[in-house]
Amino acid sequence: MLRDARERAGQMGVSLAEYVRRLVSADLQGTKRSVDPGVVFDLGCSGGSDIARDKDRMLSEAFADPRR
């Protein structure tokens, strides 16, 4: 793995340390992106849908179910 990482860094024209810094930076940036799934359901409300009325309960059940 180290040999492959050095080769990849060389292909990119950077040092192994810089290559690792970039990987860590990209990984850490990816963890900060979190979106509340409820935002999708807050786009509008027709007033006649069970989903609009019961969305919080439905989301709780969906995320609590280990099969999903």
Which pair of structure tokens corresponds to residue 6?
């050095």
Q: What spatial distance separates the first Cα and last Cα of the chain, rounded to whole Å?
A: 34
How far is C-alpha 63 from the geometric centre of its chain's CA atoms? Answer: 16
**Per-residue confidence (pLDDT) for residue 43, from 0 to 100:** 61
HEC sequence for the chain: CHHHHHHHHHHHCCCHHHHHHHHHHHHHHHHHCCCCCHHHHCCCCCCCCHHHHHHHHHHHHHHHCCCC
pLDDT > 70: percent of the chain: 60
Enter the pTM of the model. 0.44
Query: Tens digits of per-residue pLDDT, 41-65?
Result: 656 656 666 666 777 787 787 777 6
